[in-house]
Chains A and B, each alone.
Chain A
Amino acid sequence: MNLDVLDMGRADVDEEPVHTPPRRRTRSVEPSATRFPYYTPSHRYFQNPHYPRSAMDTPAFENAPTPHAIAARRALDQRRLATFTPGRSRRQSFREQRETPMLILRNLGRALAPTSNVIASSSSPDKVSPDGNDDGNGNGEASGSGRPRRGDDDDDDDELPIDRPRLSLPLDEGSSDDLQPPQSSILDDGNLTLQSVELPRRATSEGPFSLRGVLSYYPGISDDALWDDPDREHTASDSFGNTIRISPRGPGDPEIADLRRPVEAHHGSDFSFDMPEGLDDDNDQTTFYMRSPVIDDIHSILNAPNPVADDIALMHAKSRGGVDKMMASTEDQFDQFPDIGDFGSVSSLGDAEMEAITQIDFETLGREPEKPDDDVIGYPHGRPKKKKRARISRHNIEYPQLPAVFVRQVAHTAMQTTGFVNQRISADTLEALTQASDWYFEQLGDDLAAYANHANRRTIEERDVITLMNR
């Protein structure tokens, strides 16, 4: 069909000088109505290689579209494209309606544009602006343009005292804790090869205390420089703060000097030497004790008059006496030799304290049936209360024990799936199961209370339990 039409077109060209038959004329008179919905110019001109381009170009070609016709056809096609395949453009139009951050910012900018002023005119140039106005209208713009620069200079002058300390930190002012680079986990002794190797590092705050501290505090080494003048030592260590290498006036062999670090660097960890609060006034240099969370516990237990501590104190009066005696003796030693500071005895005291304390700690845990710890489980005297009926919960509410028969029944049901031939539940197994059940209900009560509390309720509801089960 296409070829047929083209042939007709060629025939038109050939017959053009001659009189055209009416049959053909009618066809060519209304080209857009019949042909062009089906054969667009692109179809005719480019998709058919057999079509002679010269014929198309000749102005004598009657059916050739005029420029106006081409434009009209193009507009028609575009309109049709727009109606039938609206996809991308329509989405884009929607996308523009959507709120994007850029759009919000643009709207904000449009809203603020008429009302906002130049920043430079805010504070300091206020005094300058009248001068600019006094200069006259002719210089108004020039002075206006110069004004912000002057204002900027003023601002810089104002800001300098703020910025400068940050840029150039005085070396001798203590900022040793926040700017120190991470320390290598092993000691680098100036070995460049070793330094080039990436080794695990730890923050300065949790530096290897065992290497740095303990060695330098060893009783054989009298390094009173560290303790005699804390201020001087502080500056010295800070000026060399970033290198482990040395304090210039470190006594003893250089190895030990390498190991010495400012004590302040370790204050981030919870294990350090510290001064007891009560002893600071009279004896401020040589008395210290090892501080760790456990020991803090012990001191609070020993000093505070709470019932648990009293109970424990009664039970372990002996060990407590031992600790007190040891503390007293070491304090006496410190009083006798305030300058030297026998650190060995301190460490031994620390160990003894530790032992006594962990003992007491175990007892404490054992006496409180709330902690589901292996320590408690394994502890021979861990069975807290022999009375079955008087159990007090955390909220001081008495509660009954779960009946053993019930536990056994549930456990027996659960045993069906395990495949044990012997499905008997012995007495101690039952006891363990009951204990586990107690802990379970305690944990369950806490969790349910937390959920209900979170929902601002004072009643535990079913959905709390379901939430717990979904967890």
Chain B
Amino acid sequence: MVAGKKPYPKATLKKIVKAHSGMNVRKNTDITIYLNYVLFMNRLIKEAAIHAKQSGERGLTARSVRKATRDALAKFKG
């Protein structure tokens, strides 16, 4: 990763969360949200990889991702 590159689109993330929750977001909260998102993505990819391997696919496909989406979302539900 290039040093000057932004690690994540902070403003966009904040806007999205604000829009969905209808609330304000405190200063450093979006970092934690980003962390949580990365964890979610890890989980999603991992589950999707398991699905893909079970169905004998090489590489990640959209189908396996869609299958894994529901489980991963349920795992990250509050």
Contact = CB atoms under 8 A, between A and B. Distances in A.
Q: Determine the interface band of chain B, counting residues with CB < 8 A from chain A.
A: 35 or more
A443 B16 CA distance: 11
Interface string B22-64: 1111101100110111111110111001001000001111100
A457 B26 CA distance: 11
Contacts of B65: 429, 432-433, 436
Contacts of B28: 462
B9 interface: yes
Contacts of A84: none
A400 B58 CA distance: 33
Contact of B20 (A399, A413, A420): A399
22 contacts: A374-B70, A377-B66, A395-B21, A402-B12, A410-B37, A414-B42, A415-B60, A420-B52, A429-B61, A433-B44, A441-B20, A445-B21, A445-B22, A449-B20, A449-B22, A451-B78, A459-B26, A462-B32, A465-B32, A465-B33, A465-B36, A468-B36
A428 B62 contact: yes
Given A377-B69, A417-B42, A468-B78, A429 B60 contact: yes
A98 interface: no
Contacts, number: 185
A397 B58 CA distance: 40
A414 B29 contact: no
Contact of B19 (A406, A440, A445, A468): A445
A463 to B, nearest CB: 9
Nearest to B18: A397
Interface in A429-466: 429, 431-433, 435-437, 439-453, 457-462, 464-466
Contacts of B38: 410, 413-414
A394 B20 contact: yes
Contacts of B13: 402
Interface of A: 372, 374, 377, 391, 393-395, 397-400, 402-403, 406-407, 410-411, 413-415, 417-426, 428-429, 431-433, 435-437, 439-453, 457-462, 464-469, 471
A400 B45 contact: no
A304 to B, nearest CB: 26
B30 to A, nearest CB: 9
B8 A460 contact: no
A469 B61 contact: no
A444 B15 contact: no
Contacts of B61: 426, 428-429
B24 A442 contact: no
A435 B72 CA distance: 13
A406 B8 contact: yes
A469 B39 contact: yes
Nearest to B61: A429
Contact of A439 (B15, B24, B69, B78): B69
